[in-house]
């Protein structure tokens, strides 16, 4: 089984002002959630992977300390930077939302919001790159990362396409419907080559 843990509540999740994507910290609640995951997740990890972003690393740290398994950062696990943080610096959630809605409404996989952002096509390629590595990951690998990243991984593993405008729109509907609260835990098990079973761990 491979386990995925979404990071704890961040200050951005709590409606805080925009800052560099990689530097957004956990809120006080997020730190408590990270401690709770470390207490409740009954896995002895062989490999512990995390996004390079602070909120994911700080969620993984209590679990790493409890299990003695060191954190290895993985360059493909970071959040989708649909909006350029430099162009929305200082904005709160209500101010950012219309820009995010416009990005997704465009259904343009090559749209770049600014120089500090990535396109949906680039994001998709990054997730696909990690999916190609998954069959070689050891059993009881635990990943700490981001909700939309994991949603796209699930979409692809279910065999759906995210190519073109239609694929981007269909994925967005799936992503918004997938339950992914902060510190949600999902298990992925390879049933056969190229086939994965997904389960939530309450």
**pLDDT tens by residue, the chain, 202 residues:** 999 999 999 998 888 887 888 999 999 999 999 999 999 999 999 999 999 999 999 999 999 999 999 999 999 999 999 999 899 888 888 898 999 999 999 999 999 999 999 999 999 999 999 999 999 999 999 999 999 999 999 999 999 999 999 999 999 999 999 999 999 999 999 887 778 999 987 6
Residues 97 and 81: their CA atoms lie apart, in Å, by: 14
State if pTM tops 0.75. Answer: yes
Q: Are 30 and 9 in contact (CB under 8 A)?
A: yes
> What DSSP string runs through 23-79?
GPPB-HHHHHHHHHHHHH-----SEEEE-SSHHHHHHHHHHHHHHTPPEEE-TT-SP
Q: How many CA atoms lie within 13 A of 5 on its CB side?
A: 34
């Amino acid at each position: 089984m491979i386990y995925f843990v979404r990071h704890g509540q961040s200050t951005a999740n709590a409606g805080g002002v925009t800052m560099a994507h990689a530097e957004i910290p956990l809120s006080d609640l997020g730190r408590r959630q990270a401690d709770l995951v470390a207490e409740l997740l009954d896995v002895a990890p062989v490999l512990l992977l995390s996004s390079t972003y602070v909120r994911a690393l700080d969620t993984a740290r209590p679990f790493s300390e409890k299990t003695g398994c060191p954190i290895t950062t993985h360059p493909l696990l970071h959040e989708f930077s649909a909006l350029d943080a430099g162009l929305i610096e200082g904005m709160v959630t209500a101010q950012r939302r219309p820009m995010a809605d416009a990005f997704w409404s465009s259904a343009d996989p090559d749209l770049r919001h600014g120089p500090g952002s990535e396109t949906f096509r680039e994001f998709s390629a990054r997730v696909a790159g990690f999916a190609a590595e998954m069959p070689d990951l050891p059993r009881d690998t635990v990943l700490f990362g981001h909700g939309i990243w994991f949603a796209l991984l699930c979409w692809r593993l279910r065999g759906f396409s995210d190519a073109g405008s239609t694929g981007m729109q269909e994925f967005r509907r799936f992503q918004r419907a997938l339950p992914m609260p902060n510190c949600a835990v999902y298990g992925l098990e390879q049933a056969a080559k190229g086939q994965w079973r997904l389960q939530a761990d309450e």
